[in-house]
Structure 1
Amino acid sequence: MTQVLELPSQLTRGVDHLAFVTDNMPMTMDFYTQVLQMRLVHVRRVPFERDRGQPPYDNLRHYFFDMGNDSLLAFFEYPKGLDRQNRDLPGGMQHLAFNVLPEKFDDAVQHVRASGVEVIGPMSLGGRFWSAYFYDPNGIRLELTTNRATEPSTVVQSVYQTEEEARSELNTLFTDSAMVDKWIAHMPIKGQQVSNP
């Protein structure tokens, strides 16, 4: 008999938009519309509002690109001359990975290269992951990734693990086996039937 794992209702349904910072909006527009073939879909200015956690500058450009699958990529244009973010420190964003259909992956990588951008890979990262890496002109590390597994699955389903795989990794984080059991109980496990109430 197959065990059915009950998961709590999902609060989110994916990425609405990611917001990054540039100090050169025309350069950023050229890169994302030409190299990654995203459409510019919204342009605006944003007034400064105190205590909202938003950028500390008034009247910033805030432009949006369609990155596919009903999600947006946005950029604020900050003044020139500011320090650069370090993606390899806590609180930084290490990289952004764009999902590409398997049948379009090789052409997408070739298009980025043909646009004069240095690409690392493509390479297998184990499991379903097959990826190529490059940088945008702002220094943001980008990834094109696809699923080359033989079993069809969604992006989320493609990263499910067996209980043994998950338990092995969680044992490196927690010394208390009850904590490992707690997290395993909340994870979808490869081979288990999952239902959302």
Structure 2
Amino acid sequence: MTIAGMNHFTVLTDDVAKTVRFYGDVLDLVAGERPNFDFPGAWLYAEGRAILHIVGGRAREALKPGVIDHIAFSARGLAATLARLAAHNVEHICRQQVGSGVWQVFFFDPNGARVELDFAADESADA
């Protein structure tokens, strides 16, 4: 067996529409085709791939904490992303790794999932 990469992440929510809107507004993910499951949800796409599955009908209070700390996406357009986060009033932390120079942006989605965006070291945080 060979692992070829990550296929998708799943976010559990009690508000599918709000979660889809957040990832659409903030990360430009687009809702697309999804199998006809017997529970509410959505699949969000980037560059033609369903990378984020939203599963609805689960109240946050009923969820037990797991071992996953955060979900991370490779991204492009650091300055525009920072402007978009500010425009949507999303609190975030932006830092540049010592050594590699990779830019990391951290924030939380409406369900409390911690999201990391990684940008190339040669990008600029200035608009």
Q: Same fold (TM over 0.5)?
A: yes
Matching of residues 110-189 of structure 1 within 5 Å: 110-120=83-93, 122-126=94-98, 127-148=100-121
* Residue 14 (structure 1) shift: 1.8
Q: Deviations over 1:120-169 (max 9, x none)?
A: 1x1112224211111000000011111206xxxxxxxxxxxxxxxxxxxx
State the TM-score, normalized to the length of structure 1.
0.55
**Pair 85,134 (structure 1): closer, same or farther in 2 beyond 3 Å:** farther
Amino acid at match of 1:125: Q
Show the counterpart of 2:27: 36
Change (3 A) 1:25 1:44: farther
Equivalent residue for 1:76? 55
Offset of residue 24 of structure 1: 0.7
Which of 72, 75, 81 is residue 97 of structure 1 equivalent to?
Answer: 72
- Which stretches of structure 1, 4 residues or more, deviate above 6 A after TM superposition? none
User: 3-state SS of the aligned residue for 1:111?
Assistant: helix
Judging by fraction of residues, say which structure has more helix. Answer: 1
Return the index of the structure with the highest Cα Rg: 1
Distance 1:112 1:85 in 2: 28
Residue-pair matches, total: 122
Alpha-carbon shift at residue 30 of structure 1 (Å): 0.9
Residues 74-128 of structure 1, C-alpha deviations (whole Å, 9 max, x = no match) = 0111333633443xxxx42101111112xx11111211121111111x1112224
Counterpart CA distance in 2 for 1:35 and 1:85 is 26
Please report the TM-score for the alignment, with normalisation by the length of structure 2: 0.81
Q: Is 1:21 aligned with 2:34?
A: no
In the alignment, structure 2 segments of 5+ residues that lack a partner are 123-127
Contact 2:44 2:51 in 1 (8 A): yes
